[in-house]
């Protein structure tokens, strides 16, 4: 088995993340935007349409795993590369982490944030998960697991509110911790 590849952690900074996404070929019709709050009255202020919420949360005894909030559903990585459809999740992950073009772009932009980037092999205690809608269901995709978590039914009309509710549930598990952050992937309206 080969040695594990380590990537420099990204800071939760929309400007840096957008540069990275656009550098690896994502259309500039899509962008990361700040989420100023998860209260229902603040959600309409998010520049949208919102395609995904991205939650950065502290990994600790309160939030080590999100599985206790949901049931498991098998996760397939549909959009990575057509040529990897026949590979297992583990093989796809290894292919992604060894993809020099994506890794180089990641390394460049991970160091552009407002804070000093830790070394690629540093232990970090924060983790990103993405909340997405697929076939009328809300899923939390977590790169540390082999399955997406199904958080129930949602729709185009209720996705943002439903995803914000899940983020609030995660944050409520550790109410004295102030280091949560939420950003959104949005498209052109």
Cα(87)–Cα(84) distance, rounded to whole angstroms? 5
Query: Is residue 9, in this structure, part of any structural domain at all?
Result: no
Q: What stretches of 36-131 show up as alpha helix (H) in DSSP?
A: 89-97, 100-110
pLDDT at 65: 53
CATH code of 130's domain: 3.40.532.10
Residue 163: which of 17, 49, 75, 62 has the closest Cα?
A: 49
pLDDT at 118: 62
- pLDDT-derived band at 85 (thresholds 50, 70, 90) equals low
Query: Is residue 60, in this structure, part of any structural domain at all?
Result: yes
Query: Is residue 3, in this structure, part of any structural domain at all?
Result: no
Reported as a single tens digit per residue, the pLDDT across 92-139 is 677 777 766 766 666 666 666 666 666 666 666 666 788 899 999 999
Query: Is residue 8, in this structure, part of any structural domain at all?
Result: no
Residues 165, 171, 176, 180, CA torsion sign = negative
Cα(166)–Cα(154) distance, rounded to whole angstroms? 12
| Average pLDDT over every residue of 153-166 | 94
| Stronger pLDDT, 131 or 63, i.e. the higher one | 131
**Phi, psi for residue 51 in degrees, rounded to 5:** -100, -25
Reported as a single tens digit per residue, the pLDDT across 3-26 is 566 677 777 889 988 988 888 788
Tell whether the model's pLDDT for residue 70 goes beyond 60: no
Cα(10)–Cα(2) distance, rounded to whole angstroms? 24
Tell whether the model's pLDDT for residue 88 goes beyond 60: yes
Query: Is residue 31, in this structure, part of any structural domain at all?
Result: yes
Percent of the chain with pLDDT over 90: 25
Cα(170)–Cα(167) distance, rounded to whole angstroms? 5
Q: Specify the number of domains making up the chain.
A: 1
Cα(181)–Cα(42) distance, rounded to whole angstroms? 15
Domain around 57: 14-187
Query: Is residue 6, in this structure, part of any structural domain at all?
Result: no
């Amino acid at each position: 088995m080969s040695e594990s590849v380590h990537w420099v952690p990204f800071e939760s900074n929309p400007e840096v993340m957008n540069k990275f996404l656009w550098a690896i070929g994502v259309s500039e019709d899509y962008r990361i935007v700040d989420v100023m709050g998860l209260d229902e009255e603040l959600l309409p202020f998010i520049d949208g349409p919102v395609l995904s919420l991205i939650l950065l949360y502290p990994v600790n005894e309160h939030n080590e795993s999100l599985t206790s909030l949901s049931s498991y559903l098998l996760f397939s990585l549909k959009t990575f590369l057509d040529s990897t459809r026949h590979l297992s999740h583990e093989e796809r992950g290894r292919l992604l982490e060894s993809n020099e073009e994506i890794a180089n772009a990641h390394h460049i932009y991970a160091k552009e944030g407002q804070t000093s980037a830790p070394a690629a092999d540093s232990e970090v205690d924060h983790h990103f998960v993405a909340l997405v809608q697929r076939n009328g269901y809300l899923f939390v995709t977590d790169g540390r697991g082999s399955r997406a978590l199904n958080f129930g039914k949602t729709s185009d009309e209720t996705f943002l509110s439903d995803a914000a509710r899940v983020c609030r549930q995660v944050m409520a598990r550790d109410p004295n911790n102030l280091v949560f952050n939420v950003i959104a992937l949005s498209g052109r309206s």
